[in-house]
Structure 1
Amino acid sequence: MAGRNHLFIPGPTNTPHEVLSAMHVPMEDHRSPIFPNLFKPLLEDLKKVFRTEAGQCFVFPATGTAGWEVALTNCLNPGDKVLIYRFGQFAHLWMDAARKLGFDVEAHEVEWGKGIPLDAMEARLKEDKNHEIKAVLATHNETSTGVTSDIAGVRKAMDAAGHPALLFVDGVSSIASLEFRMDDWGVDGAISGSQKGFMLPAGAAILAFSQKALAAVETSTFPRSFFSLKDQMNANKDGYTPYTPSTPMLHGLRKALDLLLEEGMDNVYARHHRLGEGVRRAVAAWGLQICAQPGFESDTVTAIVVPADKDARHVISTAYNKYNISLGAGLTEVAGKVFRIGHIGDMNDVSLLGAIAGVEMAMLDNGFDIKPGSGVAAAIEYYRSTAK
């Protein structure tokens, strides 16, 4: 098929040409005297993306999933109790990872389409008089349902309860895309991955930890080796890593950070909001619903609910095979019920209009009762009226 595949999944995302070019480098000596010239500024500039001055950033040659393990095993002790709300596939996977690692996981079920229930969480923390809960695990942006939770509200609830638990946040599909303010929100461990807002291939777990969390590292007895923050800190202070890094990934990260910081993080957040709102206007014009309930809509991914007599997998298959467009599938509990449009990373108005047009064609081919061009028209009017 002529032309390239158009990637509209919520990760991996499109990698800008400038980032791909920056990664095309010869292999180099990661123990050379000049390697810190690359690595040290990366760790400092990452703090500008996480919006932290007091925290410390880390890069592991791994994935966001590995980042969950880094946070849990470095800052907690075996058998510690953690609190999590399960409202999507990735909250489920984090819960499952904590259980496999031997933590005492207190999980509360929440309807898929909603996010963290702040009042219920505050009440539960107030009940925990003996502070048995050692960490709250909060999924900021649940990509399976297109739901964003209020992390500032989570911190407010924890403070209202007077609870000293650590706050760990899965920001894999939010950090570098959605508003994220580590210091202001009192986040102790922020977990991200390279393949979402950072616009890189998968392969780097990018994290930040507060001083409170780093102090907890000193008393943690959990066994660890590759995921040791202590080993990272000992090597990072001199501008090195405790083992062989992916140097092409680091060069790509350098360029990605340059692009993000040149645009300005507040502008990055605003751009993602505009893109997401345009998709939501298109969905409304089709007469369809999104999975996220009001107040929880994500600006990086929209999960679109298909009518009861339709199968979302048919839309995804048609879009890929006939129009060379990749859409996100519904996962587990919403498999076949939703398809997802990712609007994260290297995206603009025109690229999203292409996604909306392709989705319209795929839905029409599958007998959806929609008016051709309706979603595209709604998005066009919104993007035109809000363009600067």
Structure 2
Amino acid sequence: MTYKSGPHFLQIPGPSHVPGRILRAIEQPTIDHRGPDFQALAKEVLAKVKPIFKTESPVVIFPSSGTGAWEAALVNTLTPGDKVLMFETGQFSTLWCELATRIGLVPELITGDWRHGVDAAAIEAKLVEDKSHEIKAVCVVHNETSTGVTSNIAAVRKAIDAANHPALFLVDTISGLASADYRHDEWGVDVTISGSQKGLMLPPGLGFNAVGPKAMKAAESGGINRSYWDWNHQVGMNRDGWFPYTPATNLLYGLKEACDMIMEEGLDNVFARHERWSEATRRAVKTWGLEVLCQNAEEHSPVLTAVVMPEGHDADKYREVVLDKFDMSLGSGLGKVKGRVFRIGHLGYFNDLMLMGTLSGVEMGLAVAGVPHTKGGAQAAMDYLTGNA
């Protein structure tokens, strides 16, 4: 292997960079998860994570990926054969739908073009048609990591209410939490699903369910047979600072530090800087003469930007050039857009200079790979950042 000087540029939309403060927290000696020190840690972490979701409800923490948190949300609230309404916004909404099928649910997927967010009117129309209330849950993705599209969750809540439908409302904000504005309680979400490796700036390994009262009641009286994913056992033990099985102790140390960092900065400030980087990135893409995958300006993700390659040029081959020549990883296209887009992550532990390094690397890569473009995208982003410092 050829030695490469300097740090690798990891610019995928998660896992994101882990700051030194969090790494130092994680490297603390592992403690007895049945002892008083852990009990104090657990109580503190379980309290500190709630404001990140903007909720007063319990937040259940699993040693899992976001996929595990998807499954937990479904098996606690639904029973085999239940109909669930889902909306296709990209690869991850599709995978969640596939998971629902595998565990015995009956999802109805409203098709989308992967360039727009959830159509709240289409959700409302389906619920209005459902006179017998066969649909037991509405499941949508807040920030679709595969496409760079952020859906209007408040609008979906209004659609459910307008239809006067009792369906539960489940939302995946795995890549949106702590990067894009999200309000579990205010938006009337029953279960919010998230993960540790995006805006929370942690390594992969923690899955989250923020559980509202209606969802908790459903879990107490029903759900699919479960053990590991059971909220009832977990929430009951969490009240006293315990977990029903061995928790990811050192990641909880990191989560405590992450919550402290986020709240020290202030959530509104966190959201504002992500929006600023997103706008700067789009200005670079426009200057290059390329196209952003998301077509609705109101739905542009603050977390990442998906860039469409010109016809006849393969996005994965371009990414290989960037990795080889500049030691930078860009996100690949997934599912239907594989080979057609690359994704630029601008989330979490990040700053203006990191964005400028990223966009400069993208522009140099376009030149080296022979991708048709107009020079000056990085400069356009820099002009925006300096004019809006």
**Cα displacement (A) at 1:205:** 0.2
| 1:263 and 2:248 matched | no
1:315–1:359: 8 Å Cα contact kept in structure 2? no
SS of equivalent residue, structure 2 residue 306: strand
Q: What pairs with 1:258-337 in structure 2 (closer than 5 Å)?
A: 258-294=260-296, 295-337=298-340
Q: 1:68 aligns with which of 67, 70, 77?
A: 70
CA distance in 1, matches of 2:208, 2:74: 15
CA distance in 2, matches of 1:191, 1:349: 29
> What's the TM-score, normalizing by structure 2?
0.98
- Give the root-mean-square deviation of aligned CA atoms: 0.9
**1:315 partner amino acid:** Y
Structure 1 369/346 Cα, relative in aligned 2: closer, same or farther at 3 Å?
same
Offset, 1:6: 0.7
Q: Secondary structure at the match of 1:137?
A: strand
Instruction: Give the secondary-structure state (helix, strand or coil) at the position aligned to 1:275.
Output: helix
Structure 1 distance, partners of 2:358, 2:293, is 18
Residue in structure 1 matched with residue 241 of structure 2 by the alignment: 239
How far 1:87 sits from its partner (Å)?
A: 2.2
1:360 corresponds in structure 2 to 363
Cα displacement (A) at 1:275:
0.9
Corresponding residue of 1:35: 38
Structure 2 runs not aligned, ≥5 long: none
CA deviation profile, 1:263-286 (whole Å, cap 9, x unmatched): 111111111100111100100110
Structure 1 residue 123, shift from structure 2 partner? 1.0
Equivalent pairs: percent with the same residue?
47
What is the CA deviation profile of residues 101-154 of structure 1, one whole-angstrom value per residue up to 9, with x for unaligned ones?
000111111111111111111111111111111100010011111111100110
Q: Are 1:140 and 1:149, in contact at CA under 8 Å, matched by a contact in 2?
A: yes
Q: CA deviation at 1:52?
A: 1.0
**Aligned residue in 1 for 2:106:** 104
Q: Does 1:385 align with 2:368?
A: no
> How do residues 166-205 of structure 1 correspond to structure 2 at under 5 angstroms?
166-205=168-207
Give the CA deviation at 1:296: 2.0
Matched, 1:129 2:131: yes
Listed as ranges, the gaps of 5+ residues in structure 1 are: none
SS in 2 for 1:168: strand
TM-score w.r.t. the length of structure 1 is 0.98
- Structure 1 residue aligned with 2:55, among 48, 52, 55? 52
Query: Which digits, 9 at most, give the CA deviation of each residue in 1:150-192, with x for residues without a partner?
Result: 0011001111111111110000000111000111100000010
1:367 Cα deviation after fit: 1.1
Contact 2:86 2:140 in 1 (8 A): yes
C-alpha displacement of 1:221: 4.1
1: distance between equivalents of 2:239 and 2:50? 15
Structure-2 separation of matches of 1:206 and 1:78: 23
Cα deviation code 1:6-43 (max 9, x no counterpart):
11001100000110011111121000022121111111
Deviations 1:242-300 (A, max 9, x none): 00011110101111111001011111111110011110010011011111112321110
Amino acid at match of 1:31: R
| Map of 1:152 onto structure 2 | 154
Q: Which amino acid aligns with 1:347?
A: F
Superposition deviation, residue 349 in structure 1: 1.2
Count of matched residue positions in the alignment of Structure 1 and Structure 2: 385
